[in-house]
Amino acid sequence: DGGITQSPKYLFRKEGQNVTLSCEQNLNHDAMYWYRQDPGQGLRLIYYSQIVNDFQKGDIAEGYSVSREKKESFPLTVTSAQKNPTAFYLCASSIGEAAYEQYFGPGTRLTVT
Amino acid sequence: GENVEQHPSTLSVQEGDSAVIKCTYSDSASNYFPWYKQELGKGPQLIIDIRSNVGEKKDQRIAVTLNKTAKHFSLHITETQPEDSAVYFCAGMDSSYKLIFGSGTRLLVRP
């Protein structure tokens, strides 16, 4: 059963702690993306990777970091430098380097208190 | 860069009626326009997309139309059902081949 998995679905952390969100895909897609969604708002791009061992900053990369060591995996670390980390985080992938037919995972809701 | 505006922000229709959501984009070079449906607490689901070389695309009860001259595209849902209730997002592709999303439309289908 092909798709994108994100774990965990809910994540709670104390302020000042780094936290890593998992994203795995078995679609053999080249490109992977991380978005942030705040209540009642659209999707904002954090980071994206079009090829293994390479990634680019999106519109709101400050306070986040990523790695792309394997084609299937694109973990996102929310660092303590992110001033307002509580949000719904969505991972996505697309078959080629461009975002045609981009598919999303189920999301991780992060709450930092 | 690309900017996508979406309206209305909320839309309430009676079951069986049609719903139309409209988006405008700024970059005339943009050539790909997907629509996503997001149910509460879930990731967005790609429901239909259109490329700039066609003016309309249909898939059962949903259709998308594109007017390149006016730089706007619309999602049409006919014979709406309660399960169509969700948030819908449009998007356009920018010059770096990334998607720029609209702000979303919350559709409520009243039984």
Taking contacts as CB-CB distances below 8 angstroms, the residues of chain B near A109 are 41
Separation CA A11–CA A1 (nearest Å): 25
Separation CA B86–CA B108 (nearest Å): 7
42-101 of A, contacting B, C-beta below 8 A: 42-43, 45, 48, 58, 90, 92, 97-101
Separation CA B89–CA B48 (nearest Å): 11
What single string gives the DSSP state of each residue in A49-70?
Answer: EEETTEEEE-TT-TTEEE--SB
Residue with tokens 């239909």, as numbered in its chain: B48
Instruction: Supply A108's token pair.
Output: 């991780």
What's the pLDDT tens digit per position in B8-64?
999 999 999 999 999 999 998 899 999 999 999 999 999 999 998 889 999 999 999
Separation CA B69–CA B81 (nearest Å): 32
User: Which chain B residue's Cα is nearest to A47?
Assistant: B98
22-81 of B, contacting A, C-beta below 8 A: 32, 34, 36, 41-46, 49
Separation CA B29–CA B95 (nearest Å): 7
Taking contacts as CB-CB distances below 8 angstroms, the residues of chain A near B23 are none
Burial A58-72 (b: 16+ CB within 10 A, else e): beebeebbbebeebb
pLDDT in tens, chain A (113 residues): 569 999 999 999 999 999 999 999 999 999 999 999 998 788 999 999 999 999 999 999 999 999 999 999 999 999 999 999 999 999 999 998 788 899 999 999 999 99
User: Which chain A residue's Cα is nearest to B49?
Assistant: A101
What's the pLDDT tens digit per position in A76-97?
999 999 999 999 999 999 998 7
Separation CA B50–CA B31 (nearest Å): 8
Separation CA A60–CA B32 (nearest Å): 23
Helix or strand holding residue B33 (H, E): strand B32-38
